[in-house]
Amino acid sequence: MVLHRAVAARALACLDLTDLSDACDAAAVEALCTRAATRHGPVAAVCLWPRFVAQARGILGPNSAIRIATVVNFPSGDGTIAGTEAEARAAVAAGADEVDVVIPYRALMAGNGGAVDATVAAVRAACPTALIKTILESGVLADDGLIAEASRRAIAAGADMLKTSTGKVAVNATPEAVATMLRAIREAGRPIGLKAAGGIGTTAVAGRYLALADDAMGPSWAKPATFRFGASGLLDDLLAVLDGRPTGRPATGY
């Protein structure tokens, strides 16, 4: 039980508490920001649609330990480079600290890897002070070689973190995809983080991903600066473990 609580505490500190549901509204944003400051400490970030960034900044304040993340080119990855760049720039101007950008993964699958390079580089240039997480949509890429290529291209174009998934497709984070992404991170030659997102709803599942990171990168690597969970339902299970209450809620996506 002590070990289980230690895992929950690690995961809580690395959590991007997320509401990217179609039903998200101002009341939901206020509730999410309130929940993010838990009795066991703050989560790493809240992750919201761009239209709610300014509201979240107003609730959390300018110097909050809880960061504000948003998404661009989301969820399809099919937006124009100019549109994605403008969306990212506007989000940071509204108060976002972190930008999760979906790469044009369908273009990559069709053989146009340069589209990934150009999209990530444009967002990086538009938002030089923001943390840039690149969403690979690994469950759709599926192939280990494509996931590895997407990882290498995103890193080369300026990404700060690799993220598995939007949480909006049938297959989201998997241990196999995360292992491939961790290999690319290990070979990057500069510090790169990882965000596992979609389908992570229990402390036990979160613990498996932390163990993968520990094995690949060392036991002190997975911390908020380098490792995140993207989830909407994980927080309840983590708090139950930390409180010593019964758990076992099934995993969900966003």
Catalytic residue among 16, 97, 117, 163: 163
Task: Reply yes or no on whether 168 is catalytic.
Answer: no
Task: Reply yes or no on whether 100 is catalytic.
Answer: yes
**Pair type for strands 131-135 and 98-102:** parallel
Task: Reply yes or no on whether 237 is catalytic.
Answer: no
Listed in sequence order, the DSSP H helices in 61-202 are 81-94, 105-109, 114-126, 138-141, 144-156, 175-186
Q: What is the residue type of 108?
A: L
Asked if residues 202 and 8 have their Cβ atoms less than 8 Å apart, the reply is: no
**204 Cβ contact partners less than 8 Å away, ≥ 6 residues apart:** none
Catalytic residue among 97, 100, 160, 237: 100
Asked if residues 194 and 223 have their Cβ atoms less than 8 Å apart, the reply is: no
Q: Which helix (H) or strand (E) holds 69?
A: strand 67-72
Q: Which residues are catalytic?
A: 100, 163, 195
